[in-house]
Amino acid sequence: MNLAHGMVTSVVLLLSIGQGGGNTGATLQPTPLEAFAQLPATHVAWSSEVGRIDSSEAHAIVTALILEDTARPPDRMRGMRIHLSSGDSQDDVYLGEETLGVYKNALDQISMDAVRERSQANSRANVTAGGTSYIGAEVFWYADNPARVHALDATYYFGPESSGLSVDAFKHVGFRFPDQDPSRLSAAIAATMDQLKSH
């Protein structure tokens, strides 16, 4: 790994204990797009489903959207909503257009690093029996500080029974997608970026 690569998207391998940076009960602030969506006069001016990820454990629906506040036209915000569900758990994560490139690049890096880990067969080498290891990207890592914003957190997990994409939004609810690669979510983000350019 060269120095520039390490500074931009250093990979974090977390063993057995799970992901760091989870919220410890503090109230999460909404992203700017989520806060705008919650205003009473805001409505969806345009939307388009750009992707779905379905697995035996969780489901995600990714929608590109433009929101408009009718109380103050033409106040608009653009971005994407990811609806996550698993059993009785649900969450909607809103990401503004200005952040999408960062998330896409991080997911692409996680995908490449997961492929390398699988090919080297060392992803489970240091995991205790029944434990889980995670591969993430620096953009999702908060060290020992609790997350403050209701935003996307993604990793690739290697568990005793399965491996795949793991997503959460710092609300103590995780959504696992066994046998699904982070590149699926990255492709949906790319589709969102393309569609927003034409609207």
Residue predicted with more confidence, 25 or 54:
54
**What are the residue ranges spanned by the domains of the chain?**
3-197
Parallel, antiparallel or unpaired: strands 89-96 and 174-178:
unpaired
- Model confidence band, residue 118 (pLDDT cutoffs 50, 70, 90): confident
- Model confidence band, residue 71 (pLDDT cutoffs 50, 70, 90): confident
- Model confidence band, residue 123 (pLDDT cutoffs 50, 70, 90): low
Mean predicted confidence (pLDDT) in 125-149:
80
Indicate the Cα dihedral angle 148, 14, 98, 187, nearest 10°. Answer: -140
Indicate the Cα dihedral angle 101, 103, 66, 84, nearest 10°. Answer: 160
Looking at residue 92, its pLDDT comes to 97
Give strand ranges (E) for 70-118. Answer: 76-86, 89-96
pTM for this predicted structure: 0.83
